[in-house]
């Protein structure tokens, strides 16, 4: 009789696990609050229309037709009964699922660091709905700034975009926004675009801190030639509907704050009684097993190993999901856990788009930047998309944006 495998989450970890697990060995059930896989590395591109929203999602039900899927969120775990309580996303109805093996891959949420006003007034960039809200806000602000009789100070406020967080997501959004200003909004709002500006705030000493310092310096030089002001070593004290205040007392009026400063645990992960690190991530061994829970595994942004902390990236989660699928398949075929090799992360390098058809890359042995790196960035992400349909749609979106420009409509 096949074991019941329950997977929570459809991010890089959960989705790659679902794709790799053998349905002749397990009865697979997947539970997630979204019914699609989202290719998050290209999410910043959707905020300005370089790529269309639907081009970077893959429906879970079509990706594996031999698994059972429920669009719901896990709310409670009862390991003694081997059950998970879930709440339906549509009508909040709760139901219970049994498992023999459980994999927690629920990802993480944006970390607000309990800074006043962030949750209420900042915009995050983790889900497709976040990108859609940001896009609508950008267009709305430009349309509002076009209102006759509006004073200059209010126009400048509406057209000031503040990005908090100098990691790849924050940098790539700032880059896409700078392109959008210069290539599309300058044509649609020629009387306003001169007032528009972007400020990128990073609490650390440099943006793209995981990259080599030469890469960071190159990105800063490019941003300084455009409409992007970089502030490093600055932290946010408070955000209101129209102002952002730093700890040094500096205040900025803003029309939009995009918050991309790191991850925090989901409510479900916080509710678990298993061991966690200081950031609230579930501690697992090198086989992704949760301590003292032999039938429970965790991977992706919600988990990290005790021996060596795993960074919360799509690359780590994807490799982890593929490894765990193979590991569980071998267990089901009768292999002993002791005979199987532990997970070893293979770092393949890091990429980031910095605007103006330029990108940066950092590999273990070398770094690169410029136009050729941008071509490599696009090629690499195109090959990593999970379906032929996604690859064709993204390629078409890039060609359409190049030939006809991005759409500045509000929809």
pLDDT value at residue 30 = 99
Q: Which residues lie closer than 8 Å to 68 by C-beta, 6 or more apart?
A: 27, 28, 29, 30
| pLDDT tier for residue 411 given thresholds of 50, 70 and 90 | confident
Task: Provide mean pLDDT across the span 75-83.
Answer: 97
Q: What is the pLDDT of residues 93-127, one digit of tens each?
A: 999 999 999 999 999 999 999 999 999 999 999 99
Domain residue spans of the chain? 3-108+265-339, 118-262+349-404
Q: Do domains 3-108+265-339 and 118-262+349-404 have the same CATH topology?
A: yes
CATH pick for 3-108+265-339 out of 3.30.565.10, 3.50.50.100, 3.40.50.970, 3.20.20.450: 3.50.50.100
- Residue 359 — φ and ψ, nearest 5°? -140, 170
Whose tokens are 């775990």? That residue is 77
pLDDT value at residue 90 = 86
pLDDT value at residue 309 = 78
- Average pLDDT across the chain, whole number: 96
Task: Provide mean pLDDT across the span 238-256.
Answer: 98
Residue 86 has pLDDT above 80, yes or no: yes
Residue 177 has pLDDT above 90, yes or no: yes
| pLDDT tier for residue 235 given thresholds of 50, 70 and 90 | very high
If one counts every other C-beta atom within 10 angstroms of the C-beta of residue 143, the result is 15
Q: Quick one: fold of 118-262+349-404? A: FAD/NAD(P)-binding domain (3.50.50)
Nearest-angstrom CA–CA distance, 405 and 188: 11
Please indicate, yes or no, whether the overall pTM of this predicted structure exceeds 0.85.
Answer: yes
pLDDT value at residue 409 = 86
């Amino acid at each position: 009789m096949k074991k019941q495998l329950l997977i929570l989450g459809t991010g890089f970890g959960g989705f790659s696990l679902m794709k790799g697990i053998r349905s002749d060995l397990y009865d697979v059930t997947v539970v997630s609050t979204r019914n699609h896989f989202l290719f998050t590395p290209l999410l910043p591109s959707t905020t300005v229309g370089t790529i269309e929203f639907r081009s970077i999602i893959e429906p879970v039900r079509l990706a594996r037709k031999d698994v059972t899927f429920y669009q719901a969120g896990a709310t409670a775990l009862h390991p003694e009964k081997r059950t998970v309580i879930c709440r339906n996303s549509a009508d909040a109805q709760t139901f219970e699922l049994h498992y023999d093996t459980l994999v927690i891959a629920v990802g993480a949420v944006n970390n607000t660091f309990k800074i006043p006003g962030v949750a209420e007034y900042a915009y995050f960039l983790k889900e497709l709905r976040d990108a859609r809200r940001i896009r609508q806000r950008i267009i709305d602000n430009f349309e509002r700034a076009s209102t006759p009789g509006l004073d200059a100070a209010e126009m400048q406020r509406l057209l000031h975009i503040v990005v908090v967080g100098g990691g790849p997501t924050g940098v790539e959004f700032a880059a896409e926004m700078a392109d959008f200003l210069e290539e599309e909004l300058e044509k649609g709002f020629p009387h306003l675009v001169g007032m528009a500006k972007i400020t990128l705030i990073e609490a650390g000493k440099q943006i793209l801190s995981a990259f080599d310092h030469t890469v960071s310096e190159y990105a800063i030089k490019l941003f300084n030639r455009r409409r992007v002001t970089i502030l490093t070593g600055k932290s946010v004290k408070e955000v209101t509907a129209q102002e952002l205040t730093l700890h040094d007392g500096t205040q900025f009026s803003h029309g939009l704050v995009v918050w991309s400063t790191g991850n925090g645990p989901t409510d479900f992960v916080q509710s678990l009684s298993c061991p966690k690190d200081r950031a609230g991530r579930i501690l697992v061994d090198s086989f992704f097993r949760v301590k003292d829970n032999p039938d429970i595994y965790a991977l992706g942004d919600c988990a990290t190993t005790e021996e060596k902390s795993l960074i919360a990236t799509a690359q780590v989660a994807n490799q982890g999901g593929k490894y765990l699928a193979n590991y569980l398949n071998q267990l089901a075929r009768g292999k002993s856990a002791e005979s199987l090799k532990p997970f070893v992360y293979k770092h393949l390098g890091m990429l980031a788009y910095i605007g103006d058809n330029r990108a940066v890359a950092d590999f273990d042995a070398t770094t690169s930047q410029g136009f050729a790196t941008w071509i490599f960035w696009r090629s690499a992400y195109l090959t990593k998309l999970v379906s032929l349909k996604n690859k064709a749609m993204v390629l078409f979106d890039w060609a359409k944006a190049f030939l006809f420009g991005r759409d500045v409509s509000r929809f």
